[in-house]
């Protein structure tokens, strides 16, 4: 059907009986397919973007290398933290031992001044010293209790830090899985034919509409990255 016939049909000036039914259906279907293909081609050309090969395979972009660095640094920092915590715990135990000696001395003073106050109730000095030693004894015992609580908290911190080692093991397990998959994929692409003996890949094949294709150097660089 010509454009004039189609316009006449749409305007009511042409009778369908004047046209063969099959001929009309075929021509309309052809027109629709042509218009659709034209729209798809225009959309493809407008939306098409140049190929992106991703970031270069430098040390910063290699996943397994990064995970290895994380586990190594994490283990080193955890070891440093454990050393610091252990030193603090040892200092607390030393101070607690020193204060226990002070407590023993204060308890001895309290016993002495208690006896003196009972024998010499009129001597105010004995009563005053007894009161001061009792206050000093109570304060020292409070400090010892605080040191013990701090020691318990440090032990809890060390227990919590054990999870860091569990997290490291989980990361290492992920690394092992990734390495296994990498080796498996490499084995799938292995070939007994040397690449140098292969026919070079065509840059353009009949039917290609995209002229912005990767060069041979781009493809070889990409394959080299995967090989690492």
What are 93-122's pLDDT values in tens digits?
999 999 999 999 999 999 999 999 999 988
115 assigned to some structural domain: yes
11 assigned to some structural domain: no
- The pLDDT score that the predictor gives to residue 108 is 94
Angle at 90 between CA 88 and CA 91, to 5 degrees: 65
Q: For 56-65, 119-128, 162-171, 197-206, which range has the lowest pLDDT when averaged over its residues? A: 197-206
Angle at 102 between CA 99 and CA 105, to 5 degrees: 155
H or E stretch including 180? helix 124-188
Q: Alpha carbon of 32 to those of 25, 28, 45, 186: distances in Å?
A: 11, 6, 20, 48
Residue 52 scores a pLDDT above 60: no
| Cα–Cα dist 70/41, whole Å | 48
176 assigned to some structural domain: yes
Q: Per the structure, how many domains does the chain have?
A: 1
101 assigned to some structural domain: yes
Q: Is the dihedral of CA 61, 67, 70, 76 positive or negative?
A: negative
Give backbone dihedrals phi and psi of 75, rounded to 5 degrees, phi first: -65, -40
Number of residues assigned to the chain:
228
219 assigned to some structural domain: no
51 assigned to some structural domain: no
Residue 167 scores a pLDDT above 80: yes
pTM attached to this predicted model? 0.52
118 assigned to some structural domain: yes
- The pLDDT score that the predictor gives to residue 65 is 81
- The pLDDT score that the predictor gives to residue 45 is 47
Residue 154 scores a pLDDT above 80: yes
Domain region containing 134: 79-180
166 assigned to some structural domain: yes
């Amino acid at each position: 059907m010509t454009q004039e016939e189609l316009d006449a049909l749409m305007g009511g000036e042409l009778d369908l009986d004047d046209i063969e039914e099959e001929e009309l259906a075929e021509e309309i279907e052809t027109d629709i397919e042509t218009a659709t293909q034209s729209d798809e081609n225009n959309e493809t050309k407008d939306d098409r973007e140049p190929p992106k090969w991703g970031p270069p395979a430098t040390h910063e972009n290699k996943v397994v290398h990064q995970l290895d660095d994380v586990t190594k640094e994490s283990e080193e920092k955890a070891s440093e933290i454990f050393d610091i915590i252990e030193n603090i715990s040892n200092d607390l135990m030393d101070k607690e031992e020193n204060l226990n000696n002070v407590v023993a001395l204060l308890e001895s003073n309290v016993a002495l001044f208690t006896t003196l106050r009972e024998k010499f109730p009129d001597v105010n000095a004995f009563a005053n010293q007894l009161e001061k030693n009792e206050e000093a004894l109570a304060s020292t015992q409070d400090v010892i209790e605080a040191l013990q609580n701090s020691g318990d908290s440090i032990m809890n911190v060390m227990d919590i830090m054990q999870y860091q080692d569990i997290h490291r093991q989980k990361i290492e397990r992920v690394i092992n899985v990734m390495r296994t998959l990498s080796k498996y994929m490499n084995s799938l692409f292995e070939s007994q034919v040397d690449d140098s003996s292969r026919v070079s890949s065509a840059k353009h094949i009949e039917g290609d509409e995209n002229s912005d294709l990767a060069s041979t150097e781009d493809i070889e660089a990409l394959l080299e990255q995967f090989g690492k």
